Copies of this chain bind each other. A is one copy, B any other.
Amino acid sequence: MSVLSYQEAGCQAVAEEMRRDGRVWALGEDLGRGGVFGQYKGLLEEFGPERIADTPISEATIMGASVGAALAGTRPVVEMRFADFALCAMDEMVNQAAKARFMFGGQARVPLVIRQPSGMWRSSAAQHSQSLEAWYTHIPGLVVAAPYTPADNKGMLKSAIRCDDPVIYIEHKDNWALEGEVPDEDDYLVPLGAARLAREGKDLTLVTWSKMVGVAAQAAELAAAQGIGIEIIDLRTLWPWDQDMVFASLEKTKRLLVVHEAVQVGGFGAEIAATVAEHMAHELIAPIRRLGAPRAPISYAKPLEDLLRITPEKILSTVVSQIGT
């Protein structure tokens, strides 16, 4: 175990997988200088400019060429820089990467990791702050991962690189500096599709992912002070999501709150809430609640931006209202 930042853990994952498998390479803008967030720091020096490839500002072709390179037998790690810019590569991601294996009747595989730094950071406004993970859960062919801890960022990124299907890999921009214990082993893999029980609690199951796991943990502390036990499930992978763990937790707590930073309307919280409503409504003793952002573009000005953030206090007051009913 070493204490690493989220960013360093991701770096380590890429480096280990590149050492292990000569077909793995990374491409995107500015990678040669370590990437915008330092998440490729030092890799050029070890692996050279062919495998840590600087690209032009051509998101559509960064993605499309990665599909071709994957079909040709390599395993690209594709850097989209900001999740917002992935919108420039949507045909390539959704119509090509996600569907090629199926459309071609299984003749080919598209092993890709599509890294999308996401979420509100600081005063970045409407085109640099979005959380669009829900979109990808709606697209057959895609795996969607959104790790929170540094250890998971190592273990899940490694699993994503080894996965033979395209993985949308969401890293929250506020997480880069987050530190935590990370296993040193280069075979440390965290399986895709398995959630993590981040905190035990008896009164309410809070399902969340990415940066919101940390915010939820703060809320749980506040709740504990009031004698309320929040169980936090860090979903980690959004598709496929770990229904078993969520359902098992709900058997115990009988109350569900889903929290995400993304816009609430049409967010992935709706899928979780709907699924639980379909299958477990009769077991719940409080109305299901979702907590996401208002359906508003993200503002630049700090107080307006902050208005859109999920805070421990907002979570707590929602929890209290659920327990109260």
- A residues at B contact (CB < 8 Å): 84-85, 87-88, 90-91, 94-95, 98-99, 102-103, 125-127, 132, 134-135, 137-141, 239, 262-263, 265-271, 273-279, 281-282, 284, 287-290, 295-297
Contacts and interface: CB of A to CB of B under 8 A. Distances in A.
A138 B127 contact: no
A137 B264 CA distance: 10
Contacts of A95: 84, 87, 126-127
13 contacts: A85-B91, A95-B127, A99-B126, A102-B297, A103-B126, A140-B297, A266-B270, A274-B277, A274-B288, A274-B290, A277-B281, A281-B288, A282-B287
A103 B90 contact: no
Copies of this chain, whole number: 2
Given A277-B281, A279-B287, A281-B284, 16 more contacts: A87-B94, A88-B90, A99-B297, A102-B297, A103-B125, A103-B127, A103-B297, A138-B262, A138-B265, A141-B297, A239-B265, A265-B271, A274-B288, A276-B277, A278-B287, A282-B287
B268 A266 contact: yes
Nearest to A263: B138
Contacts of A268: 266
A140 B299 CA distance: 12
A301 to B, nearest CB: 10
Nearest to A135: B135
Nearest to A127: B95
Given A87-B94, A138-B135, A297-B99, A274 B263 contact: no
Contact of A278 (B126, B288, B297): B288
Nearest to A256: B277
Contacts of A90: 87-88, 90-91
A274 B278 contact: no
Contacts of A132: 138
A188 to B, nearest CB: 30
A132 to B, nearest CB: 7
Contacts of A271: 265-266, 270, 274
Nearest to A241: B265
B91 A87 contact: yes
Contact of A140 (B134, B270, B290, B296): B296
B265 A295 contact: no
Given A95-B84, A273-B273, A287-B281, A140 B102 contact: no
A107 to B, nearest CB: 14
A61 to B, nearest CB: 13
Nearest to A281: B287
Given A88-B90, A273-B270, A289 B296 contact: no
Nearest to A95: B127
Nearest to A273: B274
A137 B265 contact: yes
Given A277-B274, A277-B288, A284-B281, A99 B87 contact: no
